A = this chain, B = another copy of it.
């Protein structure tokens, strides 16, 4: 089903995570992967390139490929991942409370953000994420209703991304994110267990499908003490 280079990538990732390829150790050479898997060098190189981009390994010309230490700054809440997927990955105790779910005509700001045309409506979904009994995150999502039709309470409580990908058959492609720190709004104070904090960390993003169409704008507002974003970058 998968391409060869993706399955080799997956094999190596799981061997790194299991410690079969330990941190700081040298990975087998490209040619030994060629032999072991009976594939061409270019295909091996595609797998290693993927590992490199995702921060698993580091390649040095003439020396080899080395497993990086990714325990120091743990997981990527970065990337394009849904709240449900994150909760499952981190094994959190979480509950989602739906505050608003309505189909409405967009205001001028949303028309601009979602590139809407006359007459198109948007789904506005406001959800509160409760973790370990505390209301920590306020998620405000706006979906172009041309692409995301028929939302229900059940879908919003479970996973909207799952619905879009599995039921509607759309493929989610890429996103832009922006992280800022803003003063608490009245809505934040009302809906979150904000304690004495007077600011929130805000992640604003636009999300596109594989074919390039923009379908979602979202604003995720986090209690500042519970917010963490990690990133891996290379010098270019």
Contacts and interface: CB of A to CB of B under 8 A. Distances in A.
Interface of A: 53, 55, 58, 60, 66, 68, 70, 72-73, 78-80, 113, 171-182, 197-199, 201, 204, 206, 208, 210-212, 224-225, 227-236
Among A53, A180, A232, the most chain B Cβ lie within 10 Å of the Cβ of A180
A204 B225 CA distance: 15
Contacts of A176: 55, 70, 72-73, 230-232
Nearest to A208: B58
- Please give me the 9 A-B residue pairs with the lowest Cβ-Cβ distance, nearest first: A73-B176, A181-B224, A179-B229, A177-B231, A80-B233, A80-B235, A174-B234, A172-B235, A79-B233
A215 B211 CA distance: 42
18 contacts: A55-B176, A58-B173, A68-B212, A70-B176, A73-B204, A73-B206, A78-B231, A79-B236, A173-B234, A175-B235, A176-B230, A176-B231, A177-B233, A179-B228, A181-B224, A181-B227, A182-B224, A210-B235
Given A60-B211, A206-B72, A80 B175 contact: no
A210 B60 CA distance: 8
A46 to B, nearest CB: 10
Given A53-B53, A212-B66, A231 B179 contact: yes
Given A79-B234, A197-B199, 20 more contacts: A58-B212, A66-B212, A68-B212, A73-B204, A78-B233, A80-B235, A172-B235, A173-B235, A174-B232, A174-B234, A175-B233, A177-B231, A178-B229, A179-B228, A179-B229, A180-B227, A181-B199, A181-B227, A199-B199, A231-B231
Contact of A201 (B55, B173, B175, B181): B181
A78 B68 CA distance: 20
